[in-house]
Structure 1
Amino acid sequence: MRSWLLKSLYVLAALRYPRIRPDLRYFVRDNYFARLNQLRFWRADFLTKTPYKVVEFYGEFDQEIRYAMPFAYWHFLNGTLKQTVASKNTRPFYFFSPDHVEKYEKRVWEAGYGNYSIPNMTHAPTYDFSKWARVPFKSHYQNDVFVYDKPLLVIANKYNIEWDKPPINFLDIPALDRLISGLKSRYQIVYNRPLGGQIVHDNSEIMDLGEHAWLRTTHPEVLLMNDLFDQHAATVQNFNHLQLLVYANCNHFISMHGGTAALASCFGGTNILLSHPGGGFEHEFNEYNNLFPNLSGATILHAKSREEVFTLVEGRF
């Protein structure tokens, strides 16, 4: 029955979206199936409405932000959330959960595929927001600790293997120098690139960009998230908690494709994100317009090259 239904939903995806590549229609099919799967919980969600739902996820951080956390928060608002289960150091993300369990030591990227327990679970041209609610990270974590004389601007960089290839979406040192030189007089810049051991990783190996020592020497005005973590170790739960506290006070972000961009999109303001064509399927499904702005109401500006990042920064920041 399940196999027949999946095949039928693939045909429906092909009929509805004939211009989408055949291999990408499987994503649409899976989202259709995941939404149909929610019919099983209609009575529990809308009639009895007692805490029963356990939302468990240990796949990619990007998917967790986009799909799992908003699904869990919807159940919290609905009065039906019983428990959340995720990777270690995720408790700050699930501050609303009545019982959060940090079960997994490592993320497994494949865990997001074939998982039909969440209505939106992978890439799609449209999303179902009926069981999806914005998590109010900004209002919950705003604070008077990370407040400076100038408005905050976070540069959320990364430098790791992407799709089993060398780094693609990142700012190298010359690009950072150009951006920081033009912005530091107007903004208090916080530079964020988590290192090994600070967050839970999946299969994307972190590589050495060598920029932290360079920043301390060349641009000492820039605050490094790694240094802030050392300075506030006694008062923050973990690195994720620190990121949430800093991001909550910020309205200007420059971020990179993936979880880095998704997290920066959860705090309103403006997020200029770098995502080169030919990588993730966000491009194919127009997700920087149909999904990312919904994470917080942020203005999402998609740069397809470093030069576009510079142009957008000059025009917006």
Structure 2
Amino acid sequence: MFKKILLKVLGLFVIIRYPNVPKGYRYFYRDTYICQLTQLKYIFKDYIVKKPYKKICFSGEFTPDIAFALPFAYWHFNNGTLLTTEGAKYTNELYFFSPSHTESFDTRTTEGNYNFETPRILYSQDYNMSKWTPVPLKAMYKNDIYVYSKPILIVANRYNMEWDGPPVSFLSVAYLEILFNKYKDKYQIIYNRPRPENITNDNSDIYDLNEYEWIEENYPDIILMENLFKENKGKANNFNHLQMMVYANADHFVSTHGGTGALASYFGGVNIILSKKGGEHHFDCFHKLYTKLSGAKMFHAKTEEEVTEFLEENY
């Protein structure tokens, strides 16, 4: 009963304080306040007692996992209050600092995103978060294995169901041809679009863009991430592990909406993200949140033409 009343009170507060916010986004504003209020329960344990007690469990999608749950866990680790972490398959290397990490979830769920034990969930009007420290993945996974004669340019693509419909934010094969032709001589391009079997799936179906064979036939000098995984010279434990090892040696990224862009934002340098729609636009996540993950310089392109503009300005 108390929770229902609290939700109504906070909902009314949001309407009064943010009268111009579209109705579909109001509950994210409300949820921010719920997250903040939830953390009040732990003031004594977190700031006075400071002994290991915190059990962090997250079963949501990849982006909120690495944007919220992971930095929350790392804050507790640095604070001396982290006891255990629990997450999806292929997350052990993300939570490398955890005293005890368990990979309990074979799939990620939308319901799992709404974990009010984290400082924020999904989107927020306020990303000035306490109890949030990004994990130094670049420093952790930088290596001497994936090094080339030219600087690395990561092209991280996706071709997924979006909002229960067809793919929206992806780099087309026609555009890849333009990008490859222009930058293949200056950079060692590494192309990455994970296949379903290499990642933990969520509520979005992954489709086939039919570009792998085309790349191998027409651009033999461009490296496919999946081929690096087959070779596995770095002895990666899984595809996520390999991605981090390769990304850690790069400072130039072209990525796309969702977890693809969020992961690329963890490794500094410059990241150009193609995102054509989504809550990230209203909340300006790419500049207010993603840049905090590593200090990366972020550019949000809404079209492939804008990707080209940012590439010409920065690469």
Q: Aligned equivalents of 2:21 and 2:296: distance in 1?
A: 27
Q: Aligned equivalents of 1:29 and 1:127: distance in 2?
A: 14
5+ long unaligned stretches in structure 1 = none
Q: Aligned equivalents of 1:15 and 1:290: distance in 2?
A: 24
Which residue in the other structure is 2:302 paired with?
304
Q: Which amino acid aligns with 2:253?
A: F
Q: In the TM superposition, what are the counterparts of 1:144-183 in structure 2 within 5 Å?
A: 144-183=144-183
Q: In the TM superposition, what are the counterparts of 1:38-117 in structure 2 within 5 Å?
A: 38-113=39-114, 115-117=115-117
Q: Equivalent residue of 1:197, what SS? A: helix
Q: Does 1:120 align with 2:120?
A: yes
Note the alpha carbon deviations across 1:84-110, whole angstroms, 9 max, x for none: 100111101001111000001111122
Which residue in the other structure is 2:254 paired with?
254
Q: Percent of aligned positions with the same letter in both sequences?
A: 47
**Segment of structure 1 superposing worse, 225-234 or 295-304:** 225-234
Which residue in the other structure is 2:207 paired with?
207
Q: Equivalent residue of 1:201, what SS? A: coil
Q: Aligned equivalents of 2:207 and 2:80: distance in 1?
A: 43
Aligned residues, how many? 314
Q: Aligned equivalents of 1:159 and 1:100: distance in 2?
A: 30
Q: Aligned equivalents of 2:51 and 2:310: distance in 1?
A: 47
Q: Aligned equivalents of 2:295 and 2:28: distance in 1?
A: 25
Deviation, 1:23, is: 2.5
Deviation, 1:251, is: 0.4
Q: Equivalent residue of 1:272, what SS? A: strand
Q: Which runs of 4+ in 1 moved over 3 A?
A: none
Which residue in the other structure is 1:7 paired with?
8
CA contact (8 A) 2:256 2:274 kept: yes
Q: Does 1:23 align with 2:21?
A: no
Which residue in the other structure is 2:284 paired with?
286
Q: Which amino acid aligns with 2:232?
A: H
Q: Equivalent residue of 2:261, what SS? A: helix
Note the alpha carbon deviations across 1:170-207, whole angstroms, 9 max, x for none: 11111000001101111001000000210001011111
**Segment of structure 1 superposing worse, 205-214 or 118-127:** 118-127
Q: Aligned equivalents of 2:267 and 2:117: distance in 1?
A: 26
CA contact (8 A) 1:31 1:122 kept: no
Note the alpha carbon deviations across 1:38-73, whole angstroms, 9 max, x for none: 111111101111111111111110110111101001
CA contact (8 A) 2:145 2:233 kept: no
Which residue in the other structure is 1:270 paired with?
270
Deviation, 1:25, is: 1.0
Deviation, 1:233, is: 6.6
Deviation, 1:260, is: 0.3
Q: Aligned equivalents of 1:90 and 1:132: distance in 2?
A: 18
CA contact (8 A) 1:272 1:301 kept: yes
Deviation, 1:234, is: 7.3
Q: Aligned equivalents of 2:6 and 2:293: distance in 1?
A: 31
Q: Which amino acid aligns with 1:160?
A: N
With normalisation by structure 2, the TM-score equals 0.97
**Segment of structure 1 superposing worse, 11-20 or 298-307:** 11-20
CA contact (8 A) 1:255 1:261 kept: yes
With normalisation by structure 1, the TM-score equals 0.97
Q: Equivalent residue of 1:92, what SS? A: coil
Q: Aligned equivalents of 2:20 and 2:220: distance in 1?
A: 50
Q: Which amino acid aligns with 1:299?
A: K
Q: Aligned equivalents of 2:46 and 2:133: distance in 1?
A: 15
Counterparts in 2 of 1:234 and 1:306: CA distance versus 1, 3 Å: closer
Q: Does 1:141 align with 2:174?
A: no
Q: Which amino acid aligns with 2:298?
A: I
Deviation, 1:10, is: 1.6
Q: Which amino acid aligns with 1:292?
A: Y
Q: Which amino acid aligns with 1:103?
A: S
5+ long unaligned stretches in structure 2 = none
Which residue in the other structure is 2:225 paired with?
225
Q: Aligned equivalents of 1:243 and 1:89: distance in 2?
A: 11
Q: Aligned equivalents of 1:126 and 1:18: distance in 2?
A: 17
Q: Aligned equivalents of 2:287 and 2:14: distance in 1?
A: 20
